Amino acid sequence: MQPLTSQNIESELSYAYLHAVASAAGMACEICGRHEDNAGADARIVAWAPFKDGGYRTEVELKIQLKATVKTPTMIGDQFSYAFKGIRRYDDLRAESLTIPRILVVLFLPSDTKEWIGHSEEALLLRRCAYWVSLRGAKASTNDTTQTIYIPPSQKFDVEGLGELMASLSRDVIPSYAGVKEEEE
């Protein structure tokens, strides 16, 4: 058996990050099966009422496409620029016809693999941060392999941000890419 590649480890750390945040927020998190993965969903989060600022739905669900990268995020204007590889996945995420909303979560890891994880008797530390963006309603790509997308730094994928996102879903407010300003590079 061969050891995991660096890219496999990045992927596994993104799952660990997602699961840790969802668990700390009191939500269920599960890895999607092969069929959902083929349809662009790596994981699913389910949350239950009560939600911050109310909401009439008592259970909401969100599907997640995970990405991890060691490339330092580039700021274009006031947003992160990210090269999303896989136009089919991009199209899955931008679809407006889906019942269960989907978001992209990108974990930015340090470039030095020795800095990814730190631990002591008092803490387990996964360095850097993940951010989320909804591509729902984004324009069709004119490229064959990669699409530049923009992620607002305010959309941290953390306990508070996930709680606010799920509370919005409980009020039928579905995030879209319309609120993200696309910059000219």
The pTM for the full model equals 0.91
pLDDT value for 181? 65
Token pair for 3: 């050891």
Neighbours of 156 (CB within 10 A): 15
pLDDT value for 183? 53
pLDDT value for 39? 75
- For the chain, which domains are there? 6-178 (3.40.1350.10)
Question: pLDDT tens track of the chain, all 185 residues?
Answer: 778 888 899 999 999 999 999 999 999 999 998 777 777 799 999 999 999 888 889 999 999 999 999 998 889 989 999 999 999 999 999 999 989 999 999 999 999 989 888 888 998 878 889 999 999 999 999 999 999 999 999 999 999 999 999 999 999 999 999 867 665 44
CB 104 within 8 A of CB 67: yes
CA distance 73 to 67: 13
Q: How far is CA 44 from CA 17, 30, 40, 101, 138, in A?
A: 14, 5, 11, 10, 21
Among candidates 43, 8, 39, 27, which has minimal Cα distance to 132? 43
pLDDT value for 35? 75
CA distance 41 to 65: 5
To 10 degrees, what angle do helices 6-24 and 159-170 make?
Answer: 60
pLDDT value for 182? 63
